[in-house]
Structure 1
Amino acid sequence: MPTAREALLSAARSALRTRPWATVRMVEVAAAAGVSRQTLYNEFGSKEGLGAALVARQVEELVTGAAEAAVAAQRGGAGPAECCAAAAAWMLGRAGEEPLVRAALTGTWNSRLPAPPPGRPPRYVVERLCASTLAALPGGEGRAVRRACEVGLRLALSFVLAPLPEDPGSAVPDRVAHVVRALLAAGDAAR
């Protein structure tokens, strides 16, 4: 059974899917979660606190999911380039599905969304994403792999910012893997 905090975050996320954050009422979130409004205020302090916690949860889901995608690829026998591409595919999917994730990655917040938590600019989110993915990669502690994977994830992020109209993102992981392989090969050739 989810905690009151998790139930409230899920209820807030559901409400945000159907209407702008400014119109989401705390009493409705509490009722949807099956808790009192006082419990909501005890957990988050304010609507702004609830919104910041919701954004933080979405970012954590993004970071954890990308690392899990990289691990799953590794278990399937993939090398660093394919693992990084799997993480990039996860990131692209989440950014396409979740406006909060897209905003956290790009810094493009609008009035339909809660305000971002302080001290969490896109740079922070991308650094967390890269670090969690690298921790899951074979050879992720190596300098060449770190740099190549970071470039690959940042390349994928550019498709979040400016998607190609003819490519809904399905070819992006292949492009990421290609770039990461090329950077790793160039690093090997330079040795």
Structure 2
Amino acid sequence: MPTARESLLDAALAALARAPWTAVRMVDVAADAGLSRQTLYNEFGSKDGLARALLRREADSYLHGVDRLLDEAGGPVDPLVAVAEWTVGQARARPLLRALLTGCWGERLPAPRPVPPGTVPTGVPAQRRADAGLPGPAEVVALVRERSLAALAPCGGEARPVGSWGLGDRCELAMRLALSCVVAPAQDGVGTLVRRAVAGTGGGQCADPDS
């Protein structure tokens, strides 16, 4: 059973699908969640706080999905292809995620706004985390790169000729290709593009860990 906080976030996301964020009312979000407006304010503090929490959940959900795919796929290339394809598909289906990944915020969306100076920190730990800020597109690339590098290091190997690409470079390349395809879809699909590019930088074979 979802918590009150999750129910309110679900209601806010559903409201955003029907109307631009400027037209979403806190009283309606609370009513749709079957909770009081006071509960909503206790959890988020304000409409801006609700927006920050909604965006933080979107970022966390995306990164959890990346971790899951990296755990499930095998080899040095397939996990990067899986993450790239999933990133593009999710960005197309989830406007908030697309905005987080590209930094392009339309008028309908709740663009991130910092907590005003002097604001008393909330007593809700999850909201304190949301209020602390969100990763921008460059930070998301770095986070996915580090996750991919940690997951694939046993298979990728960093020993390479001078001037060739290392595993970290290939992980970042795959993510940046995915983001480019979010904005401008590739004719052959992002998976094919990533596989060709990563294999071309020396990522096609799994290194022998004893070599």
TM-score interval, smaller chain? 0.7 to 0.9
Among 153, 168, 182, the alignment partner of 2:175 is 153
Q: Which residue of 2 aligns with 1:179?
A: 197
Where do residues 26-175 of structure 1 align in structure 2 (5 Å cutoff)? 26-74=26-74, 79-116=75-112, 118=114, 119=133, 120-137=135-152, 139=154, 143=158, 144-164=166-186, 167=187, 171-175=189-193
The change in CA–CA distance for 1:50 and 1:140 in structure 2 (over 3 A counts) is: farther
Deviations 1:75-110 (A, max 9, x none): xxxx12111010111111110001110100111012
| Equivalent position of 1:10 in the other structure | 10
TM-score, normalised by the number of residues in structure 2:
0.78
Return the offset for 1:180.
1.3
Query: Using the alignment, how far apart are the partners of 1:19 and 1:90 within structure 2?
Result: 27
Q: What 5-or-longer segments of structure 2 have no aligned partner?
A: 115-132, 159-165
TM-score by length of 1: 0.85
Contact kept? 2:26, 2:37, Cα under 8 Å: yes
Larger helix share, 1 or 2: 1
User: What is the rounded CA distance, in whole Å, between the counterparts of 1:5 and 1:155 in structure 2?
Assistant: 35
Q: What letter is aligned with 1:108?
A: C
Unaligned runs of 5+ in 1: none
| Change in CA separation of 1:26 and 1:140 when aligned onto 2, cut-off 3 Å | farther
Q: What's the CA shift for 1:130?
A: 2.4
What is the Cα deviation at residue 69 of structure 1? 1.6
Q: CA deviation at 1:40?
A: 0.5
Percent identity at matched positions? 47
Q: Tell me how far apart the structure 1 counterparts of residues 185 and 148 of structure 2 sit (CA, whole Å).
A: 22
- Offset of 1:146 from its aligned partner? 1.6
CA drift at 1:37: 0.5
Cα distance, 1:161 vs. partner?
Answer: 1.9
Q: What SS is found at the alignment partner of 1:137? A: helix
Aligned residues: 180
Mean CA deviation greater in 133-142 or 123-132: 133-142
Q: CA RMSD in A?
A: 2.2
